[in-house]
């Protein structure tokens, strides 16, 4: 008879498609360790099924408009920080995409976002990134700078989408039909994918800025108004990446 450790190793290397055969093999094994192992695998299967159903619900808008052609999800990150650019992303996912765990980027851990970023970049039909600098934000205001970044993201796509699914906004000066969706990054896989790529892109940029301006804690606060950041702002003054119109309360 195999030891529980040996059976555990067998389950560990098996994919979920192999589980039924393993269940059959060990169904007569009365040891509590084996029973627990099988129970854990059943839970894993149930969790995966629940995730598939959640993701399918997030394709409601995709299914509604897919007959029109390419759908593009658009989202931005960085409207609130005191420093750094605003970044927008446009993502066209394949119609039959099976990417799981897509969600509003704020609801995901940094490691999950990084993992999904790689999957999205590999599987997307096209991805476009747009950004606007702190100077431009000061010049025309954050909302207009966000719209510019979004238009740039769309212009950088390799294929022209027939419909834009936007997170809550309608972008001016764009002729492509738009569908603004409130809390869209939690309701549409396309917008969620754009949200994740925009967030990872901006976070990586702020981590680079942290090497240039280490006093401000940009690697951890990403330019938002954390206590460490505000203290440094008062002590050292603004850097070239600070938004002057955002920091008048602090200096």
The pLDDT tens digits of the residues spanning 100-130 come to 999 999 999 999 999 999 999 999 999 999 9
How many angstroms separate the CA atoms of 134 and 155, rounded?
21
The structure tokens listed for 187 are 């309701």
CB 250 within 8 A of CB 233: yes
Among 191, 189, 197, which Cα is nearest to 178's? 191
Please, what is the average pLDDT of the chain?
Answer: 95
Which single residue is written with the structure tokens 């993992």? 115
Among 6, 7, 28, which Cα is nearest to 19's? 7
What is the structure's pLDDT at 220?
97
Among 188, 202, 175, which Cα is nearest to 72's? 188
What is the structure's pLDDT at 1?
82
**Taking the model in full, what pTM does it have?**
0.90
The predicted-structure confidence for 24-80, as pLDDT tens digits, reads as follows: 888 888 888 888 998 888 899 998 899 999 999 999 999 999 999 999 999 999 999
């Amino acid at each position: 008879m195999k030891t529980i450790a040996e059976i555990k190793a067998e389950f560990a290397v098996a994919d979920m498609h192999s589980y039924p055969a393993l269940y059959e093999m060990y169904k007569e094994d009365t040891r509590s360790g084996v029973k627990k192992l099988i129970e854990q695998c059943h839970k894993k299967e149930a969790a995966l099924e629940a995730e598939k159903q959640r993701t399918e619900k997030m394709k409601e808008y995709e299914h509604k408009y897919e007959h029109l052609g390419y759908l593009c999800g658009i989202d931005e990150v960085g409207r609130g920080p005191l420093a750094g650019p605003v970044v927008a992303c446009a993502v066209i996912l394949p119609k039959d995409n099976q990417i799981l765990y897509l969600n509003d980027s704020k609801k995901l851990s940094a490691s999950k976002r990084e993992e999904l970023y790689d999957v999205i970049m590999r599987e997307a039909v096209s991805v476009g990134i747009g950004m606007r600098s702190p100077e431009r934000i000061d010049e025309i205001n954050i909302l207009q700078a966000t719209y510019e970044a979004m238009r740039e993201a769309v212009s950088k796509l390799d294929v022209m989408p027939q419909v834009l699914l936007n997170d809550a906004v309608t972008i001016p000066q764009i002729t492509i039909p738009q569908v603004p969706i409130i809390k869209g990054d939690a309701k549409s896989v396309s917008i969620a994918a754009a949200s994740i790529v925009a967030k990872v892109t901006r976070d990586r940029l702020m981590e680079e800025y942290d090497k240039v301006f280490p006093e401000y804690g940009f690697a951890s606060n990403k330019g938002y108004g954390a206590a460490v950041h505000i203290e440094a702002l008062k002590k050292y003054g603004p850097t070239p990446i600070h938004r002057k119109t955002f920091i008048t309360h602090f200096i």
